[in-house]
Chain A
Amino acid sequence: MSVLPWVVAAWLFGVGVYGIATSRNYIHLIGCLSVCQSATYVLLLGIGYDWGAGPPIFYDHPPGTPAVDPIVQALVLTDIVVGATVSALLLAMALQVHKREGTLDPQEIKPLKGQ
C-alpha cells in the first residue's frame, strides 16, 4: 500500500505516453496527454496525504485538528488550470489543422513537405 500511489502515478504517465506514441488522431492524442497530466495530480496529492488527518479546512473542525498538507493541494489547483489551458490550445490547433488539411492524423500532418 505504501508505494501504490507512486505506482499508479507512474502507470498513468506511462500509459498516456504509450497512447501519444501510438495515436493516429490528434483529438485522441490530446485526451492521452490529459491522462499524463492526471499522473501529476495523483503524485502530488499522494505526497501530502496523512492517515487519519482531515481536510485542511477548519470549518467543522477547530484549528489544530490534524489535517493533510494544504501546500500540495494548492499546487494541484494550479496544475489543473495548466492542464485545461493546454488542452484548449491544442484543440484549437487540431481544429485548424483539420480545417486546412482535412485530417487529424499526426503522421500525415508534417511541418515539411516530402518528409
Chain B
Amino acid sequence: MAFLLAAMLLLAAASGLAVVLTRDPRRQVFALAGNGLVLTLLFLVLQAPDVALSELAVGTAATPLLFLAALAAVRINRKRDAADTGGPE
C-alpha cells in the first residue's frame, strides 16, 4: 500500500510538471486530462471515492472540454482575423 501510494504521489507530481511544461495549449489539454486521471487514481488510493468521482467528472472530463471549446473558439477567431486583414496572422 505504501509503495502504491508513493508511486501515485510521484506520478501526480510528474504529471503536474508535464502540464506546466507543455507550452502548447492544444497539447496541454491532454496533459491536463492526464493529470486529472492520475489525481483520480491517487484519490482512490487515498480512500476518497467521492472525491475521485468528482475529479473524474470535473478534472478529466468537464474542465478539459471547456479548454477544448475555448481553443476551438480561439482558432476560429484567428481565422476570422486572417480573413479580415486579407492574410494569415
Question: Which A residues lie at the B interface, using CB under 8 A?
Answer: 1, 4-5, 8, 11-12, 15-16, 18-19, 23-25, 27-28, 30-32, 34-35, 38-39, 41-42, 45-46, 49-51, 53-57, 67-68, 73, 76-77, 80-81, 83-84, 87-88, 91, 94-95, 98-99, 102, 104
Contacts and interface: CB of A to CB of B under 8 A. Distances in A.
B35 A35 contact: yes
B47 A68 contact: yes
* Chain B contact residues: helix, strand, loop or mixed: helix
B20 A15 contact: yes
B6 interface: yes
A98 B70 CA distance: 10
Nearest to B11: A8
Interface of B: 1-2, 6, 9-10, 12-13, 16-17, 19-25, 28-29, 31-32, 35, 39, 42-43, 46-51, 54-55, 58-59, 62-63, 66-67, 70-71, 73-74, 77-78, 81, 89
Contacts of A76: 48, 51
9 contacts: A4-B9, A11-B16, A19-B20, A25-B25, A42-B9, A45-B51, A68-B47, A77-B50, A102-B78
